[in-house]
Amino acid sequence: MLNIAQLKVGTKFEYKDEPWIVLESNHLKLGRGGGIQQLKIKNLLNGKIVNQNIKGNEKFEEADIQTKNIQFLYTSNDESFFMDCADFEQFIIKTDLIENKLKFIKSEQNVSGVFYQDKLIEINLPDKVTMKVIGAETGLKGDRQSAGTKPVTIETGAIIQAPLFIKKDDLIVINTQNGTYSERKK
């Protein structure tokens, strides 16, 4: 059982029969009353973020979260399909829950899957991935105060901003946390 003092950033816990993760945590002591923990928490099933005040006497179960090495197979309609690399079991997740991450996953790429009660609820990508540029306009030099950028299309179909010197067939490293160009792979 977790008390309010143990609800730190990154803690996964059960609240209202669903798994949540703490994004922000702040302890308050108001006069004669007991302590209150102000939390910003994210629902791991639907991605909803809420602010919640928890009283000092409340207790919570730790969420039963597992991670497995899984492989991305394909996306069809509004579902994405993954396979467990160990026993070849397949899992389905709603595409809208991982839409921003799918821009940086190639078919048959291995990722870390997050499971709650044997159900895939999220995927974790490496911090940086290498992608091939399949489309890039010619960069034009001009009067600029800072380095210029242009939109380029990577092999997954996503469009990101990259420096003017990037051209088609270049390999680039992309930061998956914010979707930005990091460097050109040599």
pLDDT tens digits, one per residue of 52-71: 888 878 888 888 888 999 99
As to burial, measured by CB atoms within 10 angstroms (0-12 exposed, 13-18 middle, 19+ buried), residue 65 is middle
Residue ranges and CATH numbers for the domains of the chain are: 4-55 (2.30.30.30), 65-124 (2.40.50.140), 128-184 (2.40.50.140)
pLDDT at residue 58 in the model? 85
11 touches 61 (CB < 8 A): no
What is the average pLDDT value for the chain, to the nearest integer? 87
pLDDT per residue as tens digits for the range 64-103: 888 999 999 999 889 999 999 889 999 999 888 888 888 8
pLDDT at residue 144 in the model? 58
pLDDT at residue 8 in the model? 87
